[in-house]
Amino acid sequence: MYNYNQFDHDFVRNRVKEFRGQVERRLDGSLTEDEFKPLRLMNGLYLQLHAYMLRVAIPYGTLNSRQMNQLAMISEKWDKGYGHFTTRQNIQYNWPKLKDTPDILDALADVEMHAIQTSGNCVRNVTADHFAGAAADEIEDPRPTAELLRQWSMDHPEFQFLPRKFKIAMTGSPNDRAVTKAHDIGIRMVRNDKNEPGYEILIGGGLGRTPMIGKVVREFLPKENLLPYVEAILQVYNLNGRRDNKYKARIKILVHETGIDTLRGWIEEVFKTQKAHHQAPPAEMIEAIEAQFQPPEFDTAKVDEDKLSKIISADPLLRSFVETNVSEHFDSNHSIVTISLKPIGGTPGDATAEQMRIMAGLAEAYGYDELRVSHEQNIILPHVRRDDLPEIYKVLKEAGLATANVGLLSDMIACPGMDYCALATARSIPVAQELLNAFEDLKVQQDIGPLKIKISGCINACGHHHVGHIGILGLDKAGVESYQITLGGDGTETATIGERAGPGFSYEEIVPAVSRIIDRYMDIRESGDDTFLDVYRRVGADVFKDALYPEEAASA
């Protein structure tokens, strides 16, 4: 993984020093809140419902054990002993005190981390496939490109005051695990006719108030042209994006109002100039970045699959864990383990300091010191030897981290909602918890099969509800929490915005309503392999609407 050079170290330390001075001036009254707010937000510090919240960037979701241990230490020393992993592959602390935040940022800098550009109308943390560098289906590891974009966008003087925030996501695999079609820029590694790797570039995806699927603006971009091309997109957006209306300021609205073909022309025009004048990063710099993302030196001793298979078969719980939480690695002796942060009764994405240390310890002992945060709020051990799976499972089980539910109903995304967020219009975490309780039997979930439920506590859609197979959006309807259901959303390479099912449900009604959808699916599916999304796409929304609104169906 990427290690800071002297420039990075100095930059981050200087930023902390600067922020320390700003906090001091806020505390002694020299700065008003209006003056201080943009400064704290530039350093990831929000003021939420009950307390401050510090959002820490985890570039493309990659961590080592030292960093994870430091996140644990910070949570104990300056917070309440836990952290919340987010759909942006970041971690949020919900209870930091203002005067402690410079010390927290210094502690982060000690392990090459920061909270810069986790807020504001700038290029945010670049996210990537959480299986990057390990997935069997990968063309190339997208992280060197993501790191290049991180360096390019960090404190970029031209792009600190864009019309609105700007999110870039990357995947190196045809199977899109990074929701690239719902980002301002989605970058997908592809190969051209000559089998050379390059990028397909999408723009204008996004969720929120006006959900849009990204459109292809460039089918194939040679790798060396990435920065001038992305810079051309940002320049066109910076000049033409709407600044008159916050709700129409994202690039998706520019794409929608201008049309992708016209916009492509503008971007290509700027790109020509950019390409001619852009000083490309020196080849040795690119090579130096790429060198830091080389796969670890894998233990090549052949795994005794017969022996492993017998061990796994003898323990039904281990078998269930391996079936759901373990994915294929490009090296046949290794696997990818997803550690679910969705235990029954828990808060999606939360991990205690002790759990963070256990995951760090596993990465160190069995995982070549690598961890990932997924946008689905889980933690990944990207490289583990297959014969270590039983031992890893044992350690996870003792730590309450072995829930075998990845990809199943209870592996849901939920934003913090009105339990924390100042923008929220309703709670989302308790809805997730009630759903987890209603379907706590993992056998039932396994029978239901792959199902993605995603919950947002407001229209900003941090919980990605638009791309949930079943999406839930919490709203304030005349002073009462009300939950709208969307159906048929999909965040993968076949991305689709879910369709609104109809009138909302009260807090008490929402879990029974979701249960009715699932009951209907179970009634009409043709086999266990006939997934919810397959059935929905085949039969359409009406069959599910009838189940959701039985009274209307009866009177029709």
Partner 1 sequence: MARVVYPKVVTANHLLEGDVIYMTASGEWSRKHEDAQLYEDKNEAEAALKIAKGQAHMLAGPYLADAQIGENGKPEPVHFREAFRTRGPSNYPNHGKQAEV
Tell me which residues touch partner 1 (CB under 8 A): 26-29, 32-33, 47-52, 80, 94-95, 97-99, 347, 350, 418-420, 427, 429-430, 433, 476, 479-481
**Could you tell me the smallest distance in angstroms from the CB atom of residue 38 to partner 1?**
13
Asked if 81 and 369 count as a contact pair (C-beta separation under 8 A), the reply is: no
Residue 138 or 419 having the CB closest to partner 1: 419
Cβ neighbours of residue 295 closer than 8 Å, sequence gap 6 or more:
133, 134, 331, 383
Q: CA 132 to CA 294: how far, in whole Å? A: 11
Q: b or e along 51-70 (b: 16 or more beta carbons within 10 Å of the residue's beta carbon)?
A: bbbbbbbbbbbbbbbebbbb
Chain centroid, CA 310 distance in Å: 36
- Cβ of residue 343: shortest distance to partner 1, in angstroms? 12
CB of 78 to partner 1, least distance (A): 12
Q: Smallest distance, Å, CB 356 to partner 1?
A: 17
Smallest distance from the beta carbon of 316 to partner 1, in angstroms? 31
The distance of closest approach from Cβ of residue 69 to partner 1 in the complex, given in angstroms and rounded to an integer, is: 23
Minimum CB–partner distance for residue 423 and partner 1 (Å) = 11
Question: Quick one: 338 or 425, whose CB is closer to partner 1?
Answer: 425
Bridge partners for 487 per DSSP: 470, 499
Decide whether 63 or 429 has the Cβ nearer to partner 1.
Answer: 429
Please identify, using beta-carbon distances, which residue of 127 and 425 lies nearer to partner 1: 425
Q: Which two tokens stand for residue 71?
A: 């996140």
The DSSP code for 52 is E
Nearer to partner 1 among residue 45 and residue 371 (C-beta): 45
Minimum separation from the CB atom of position 64 to partner 1 (A): 29
- Grouping H, G, I as helix, E, B as strand and the rest as coil, residue 247 is helix
- Dihedral pair phi/psi, residue 180, rounded to 5°: -65, -25
Q: How far apart are CA 390 and CA 398, in angstroms?
A: 13
Question: Helix, strand or coil for residue 428?
Answer: coil
Provide the pairing of β-strand 185-191 with 168-171.
parallel
- CB closer to partner 1, 331 vs 354: 354
Buried b (16+ CB within 10 A) or exposed e, 140-161: bbbbbbbbbbbbbbbeeeebee
Comparison of 102 and 430: residue with beta carbon closer to partner 1 = 430
Torsion, Cα of 444, 445, 450, 454 (10° steps): 140
Closer residue to partner 1 in complex, CB, 239/480: 480
